[in-house]
Amino acid sequence: MQSAEVMTKSLGGNWYGSYGVAPCPVCQPERRSDQTALTLGDGHSGLLAHCKKSGCEFGSILAAAGITKDDVCPPDPAVRARRDAERRADIERRARQAHALWCEARPIIGTIAEGYLRDARAIHGPLPDSLRFHPAAWHGATASRYPALVARVDGADGFAVHRTYLGPDGLGKADLTPAKAMLGATAGGAVRLQEGNDRLVVAEGIETALSLACGLLHGPAAIWAALSTSGMTGLRLPNEPGRLVIAPDGDPVGKKAAQTLAERADALGWSVSLLPAPEGSDWNSVIQKRRSGNAHS
């Protein structure tokens, strides 16, 4: 019988007390140490496994790992209780860390984080209060500090932030793995970038969502960044249904996540439309090409 901890270690991953991260055996068969698409844990009825890279199916993950469903067992009740307590304590600790980081961060205007969005990402127009700049945010994988664009995540359980690590001049992301990281429990939440009553527009990344406000949308809209495809599929929508526009990246994983959210929103009474980016691209690439074209015209 396999527990989440045993499976994590068998895949060459790392176990962190109540959960593990490891290479996904389906989409990361090389199983390199820097491949951490798979998150594993023990649920009340058995193993939990989620691939954040490609959304690989549970059965496919087990098969690629050489495990049958009969090999998966629920944890011992005492072990489960201990891990639940550890998980709650870890969530609270990370929320405190996220709040401290947010309080340390400064308004984005006049910082290299603003320069990153304006110059490297071609984003113009107002920048919301949900974005700040931290000159020396902690990067766990390298145990070092780097400047970062810090975004507040609203709608999740507890306080959470998203960090985009920047190069010292702000002309691009830092040459780090990962160059982006979340802190706090972000599930269900989003970075809320623009207010509006006409409709809700949801994209994946912060830069992509901000790009939609740069002449790609007509009329007022609330704009949210779900931060990832898994964030998009698990997004908590407002209680009152309205008009929803989902603007995924132009790749199969993004389109699949958009379809999942669309089906759930439709069942909740939302009027849903899809606005996928061109194939193999995203909406930020679109506005960057527009700027480049204008510069040469």
Confidence of residue 69 (pLDDT cuts 50, 70, 90): confident
Give me the CATH topology for the region 187-297: Dna Topoisomerase Vi A Subunit; Chain: A, domain 2 (3.40.1360)
Average pLDDT over residues 38-64: 88
What are phi and psi for residue 106, nearest 5 degrees? Answer: -115, 165
Rounded distance between C-alpha atoms, residue 82 and residue 263, angstroms: 37
Closest listed residue to residue 223, CA positions, set 154, 159, 122: 154
C-alpha dist (Å) from residue 210 to 126, 201, 223, 247: 10, 11, 8, 12
21-43: pLDDT as tens digits: 999 999 999 998 889 899 998 87
Reported as a pLDDT band with limits 50, 70 and 90, residue 296 is low
Q: pTM of the full predicted structure?
A: 0.76
Domain ranges of the chain: 4-75, 92-185, 187-297
Q: What is the pLDDT, as a whole number, of residue 74?
A: 63
- The two three-digit tokens of residue 279, written as one number: 């194939």
Q: What is the pLDDT of residues 116-168, one digit of tens each?
A: 999 999 999 899 999 999 999 999 999 999 999 999 999 998 999 999 999 99
Whether residue 187 has pLDDT greater than 70? yes
Contacts of residue 70, Cβ cutoff 8 Å, sequence gap at least 6 = none
User: Any idea which residue has 């527990």 for tokens?
Assistant: 3
Q: What is the pLDDT of residue 111?
A: 98
Compute the residue count for the chain.
Answer: 297
- 212-268 pLDDT, tens digit each: 999 888 888 999 999 999 999 999 999 999 999 999 999 999 999 999 999 999 999
